[in-house]
Amino acid sequence: MTGFTLGQSGDDRSAYDVTDGIEDQILADLEDDEKSAVMTLLARVSERAYRRGFQQGVVIGPSLPREWKDGLHNWRYAMSTDVSPAGDHPHLRTSAIERLHVENRNLPRLGLWGGRGK
């Protein structure tokens, strides 16, 4: 796959468009059942992330300082989605690939990567 390199986007458009930096039609040659599997996987990963975010909002949100809550829009949209900042420690960051692995440890079984973050 030559159409994507993590973090290569020149700006932080991926915060608004998750397809930024990925070649158009890169998945077009997949068979329909493969496309369906990718879409199901993306939907499940997205749903888990949504639920995790909701849970963190309920648990962590009330304890955050007001000034941090006021900057939430920038925290969400001002950096690339190739980066995964910690919700309760905004200066701690990991790669989005590493977060994907941590939150979904069975993905290597599908052949997506041989080791962590690859």
Angle at 15 between CA 27 and CA 60, to 5 degrees: 120
- On whether the pTM is more than 0.85, the answer is no
**pLDDT tens digits for 75-97?**
778 878 888 887 667 677 888 88
CA distances from 108 to 99, 114, 118 (A): 14, 6, 10
Distance in angstroms (rounded) separating the CA atoms of residues 43 and 25: 19
**pLDDT tens digits for 50-80?**
888 888 888 888 887 777 777 777 777 887 8
**pLDDT tens digits for 10-66?**
456 777 788 888 888 998 999 999 999 999 999 999 998 888 888 888 888 888 777
Q: Which two tokens stand for residue 85?
A: 């900042």
Q: What's the pLDDT score for residue 10?
A: 47
Nearest to 47 by CA among 105, 109, 103: 103
Residue extents of the structural domains in the chain: 28-110
